[in-house]
Every structure is written in C-alpha cells, then in structure tokens.
Amino acid sequence: MSLLMPRWAWAEELVANAPPLDLTQHWAGYLALSVFALAYILAMTEEVTELKKSKPMVFAASLIWIFIAAFYAKDGLSEQAGIAFRNTLEGYGELFLFIMVSMTYLNAMEDRGVFDSLRVWLLSKNFSYRQLFWITGLQSFFISSGCNNLTTALLMGSVILAMGKGSPRFVTLSCINVVVASNAGGSFSPFGDITTLLVWQKGVVPFMDFFTLLIPALINFGIPAAIMHFFIPKERPAAVMEAQAMKRGAGTIIFLFVMTIITSACFENFLNLPPAAGMMMGLTYLKFFSYYLQKTRDAHPVLTPVDLTDVKIDYFAPMKYMNSPQVEKNKVVAEELPFDIFQKVANLEWDTLLFFYGVMVGVGGLSFIGYLTVASHHLYGGIDPTVANILVGVASAFVDNGTIMLSVLTMQPNISEGQWLLVTLTAGVG
C-alpha cells in the first residue's frame, strides 16, 4: 500500500498541473459568459432595481464554477477545477482581509468625529467658494492616497453639501472636482484604490515605485480643476460655528492607522508576506486600543440591553419625541455605549465586499475557461501596449475599474513595469 501512495500522489500532481481545457467554444463557456454579463448589468443598475449588487454577482460566480466543475467532473478532472477555485479564493481572501481592516479604521475614525471635525473646521474659517473648491479638492487627493477613493468622495461630498447650500453651481462643480481628485489621488498609492491594491498584491509593481505616479496624478487632478475654477462663484459662504473637538482617542486611532499601513508595507517588502498579514496585525493595534478606551472611559450611566429593545412606538402620536421610533432610540444608545471595535467591523460595507467576491471568483472562472487568454491575445498581441493600456483606461470609465484591472492582471500580459504603471494610472483615473 505504501508503495502505491507515491504513484497516486504523482498522478494527482499531474492532474493538478495539467493545462486547463479550452471551453471558449463550448456551451459551458457561452453560458458562463452570459451569466456573468447579465449579473454585471444587474449590478450596474442597482440604483434603478434597488437590488444589492452583491446578490447577482455572488450567484453568478457560483453558477460559473458549477458549470466548470460539472464539465471537469465528467472527464474525471474535478480535482483540477477544485484547485483552480481555491487559488482564486486565496486571492480574494487576501483582498478581503486588507479592505476589511481599512474600512474598520475608517469607521473608527468616523465614530471618533474625525471627519465631522474637519467639516465643521472648514465651515468656521469663512473661506471663499473658490478657496473651498481647491481645499476640498487637495484634501480629497491626499486623503484618498491612504483611504479608499469611494469613502473619500462620500465624506468630502457631504462637506461640500453642507458648505454650498446657497450655491448649486459650487456644489455641482466641487463634487465633480472631488470625484476627479479622489480617483487621481488613489492612483499613485497602493492603499488608495482597488486597482493599485490589486497590482501591488499581485507583485508586478514594487511598493515604492507606485509613487512615481504622483506627478501624473497631480496633473490629472490639476488640469480639470483649473478649468472649473473660473466657473466657481467668488462669494463666501457664511461661517456657522467653531470647530468641534474630536472624541477621546481620535488622534491615537489616526496614528495607529498610519502604523498599520507601515506595518503592511514592511511585511511585503522585508518579510515577503502578503500585505493582508500586516493589515491584520494592524487591526490588533486598534483592538488593544479599543480595550483601553473601554476600561478607561468616563463613568456615566449606560443603558442595559433590556433598554435597547424595550421601546414603545406610538403610531397615533408620531410627532412626540418621547415616543420616537426604534431607529432614533438606537442613535441615542449608540452615543452612550462605549467604543466597541467589533461594532465597527459589523458596520462595514458588506455589500461591497461580497460584490468583490463575485467579481474576483467570476473573473477567475472566465479566465480558467480561457476567455481572458483570448482577450489578452487580441488586446496586447495585435496593438501597441501603450495604446492598449489607454483603451483599458477608457473602458474603466464605463465598467468598474477593479473589474477591469483584475481582468488585465488575470490576462498576465508580457509588458514592462512602466506599462503596468501606465495601466494602473489609466484604470484608476478613468
């Protein structure tokens, strides 16, 4: 029996390392491609259908691998399909942990009033609309290099809405400026956007080389901003109040977030460990600090768990504050409860995280079928790589840039590091 074991292991290794079957002309391939396209259309029309984008994408990804596994099992190659799926899942796992930690820190900073303090500070300084236009744009540019660009755009957008109530033109142009600045700022940092994060985790561009995109990113932000500047009103909004103080521990959490980013970079550069491992270590910094905040909080009455549910709603007197709905009651309770790190994890953008699962696993399935090899041959085999990477940027204006970049990385085109930086920039700002 022991003599047969090496042969079985050798046979299993041959099956695992065998090239995948070309299913691009098979019914399974056509069906998988159709399912993915339909799911992506549903995800893009989320605002119209009110169907969360993660639902069709996760379902489509599952169907794609069912088609693949069923076809491979018919030919006795189910192990090969299983190994391919696990490799795809491993890539998503690293991305998930990385983004989870980043979002948790952002939720913690929001809880401590970091972003509210920034908003009120801007409102209290009596800047002109044109000054606010450039200040919010530059802040978005540099904040998005450490935070993800979507969160940055949402936060700065709320600041602009609060400052520009009397000037619709200022609000419109400043929001456009914030979107452009957030995309540009996220394109030169491995932490700023899903595109740069994917490229960094794949290892095709070293950590420090991303910062060579700083000047091109500034140009991408500066030129549109300079054009819009002349259309911004010259008036000043009225100052409303003094800047409010941040909650206890806000400065420390910002410092811990910076240390987490440094830890992640050191794990990848010096220890050759995935950046997600460094981010998870950084999460423990926040967990220990959360424990400290809980143990040293000022003494004040905290509602018991019974009070959280023992809320009566008077449907016949909805205007009475004392009979406010459960949602309003929970807002008050949330302010009285101590800082809880696990509550910040629970409040993550889980729909976005699951959407990325569907995209990565679905694209991995299409790549295993062979479609991305065909796409790579047509895109990078027939035209100049510079032109191809510019076309990728144009496509990212219409399709999610994370999906576009993941597809390019899965194609594995034989291009230089400079071309990888170019496609990172074009996909990020597109």
Return averaged pLDDT per consecutive 10 residues of the chain, 430 residues in all: 45 58 87 95 90 95 95 86 92 90 87 82 82 92 81 79 82 92 89 84 88 93 94 80 76 93 89 91 94 75 42 37 42 56 80 91 92 86 88 84 85 90 89
Q: Both tokens of residue 260? A: 């987490």
Q: In angstroms, what is the C-alpha Rg of the chain?
A: 25
The token duo for 369 is 């079928």
Reported as half-sphere exposure (CB side, CA atoms, 13 A), residue 232 has a value of 25
DSSP per-residue codes, 295-316: HTPPP-----HHHHH-----TT
Closest to 428 in 3D by CA, of 136, 202, 197: 197
From 238, 222, 234, 97, select the one nearest 170 (Cα to Cα): 234
Orientation angle between helical segments 417-429 and 194-202, nearest 10 degrees: 160
Vertex 205: Cα angle to 201 and 206 (nearest 5): 85
Pair 373, 407: CB distance under 8 Å: no
Q: How many CB atoms lie within 10 A of CB 98?
A: 24
Sign of CA dihedral 216, 217, 218, 224: positive
> Which residue's entry shows tokens 């948790």?
104
- C-alpha 109/C-alpha 97 separation (Å) is 19
Q: What does the buried/exposed string (b/e) look like for 120-133 if buried means 16 or more CB atoms within 10 Å of the residue's CB?
A: bebbeeebebbebb
The per-residue pLDDT for 239 is: 64
The predicted pLDDT at position 332 comes to 45
Q: CA separation (Å) from 279 to 39, 90, 199, 259, 381?
A: 31, 16, 17, 10, 37
Burial tier of 81 (Cβ tally within 10 Å: 0-12, 13-18, 19+)? buried
**Where on the phi/psi map is residue 414: left (φ > 0), alpha (ψ -120 to 50), or beta?**
beta
Q: Which residues contact 21 (CB under 8 A, 6 or more apart)?
A: 71, 72, 75, 77, 370
Q: Nearest Cα to 162, choosing from 152, 175, 151, 149?
A: 175
* pLDDT given at position 284: 95
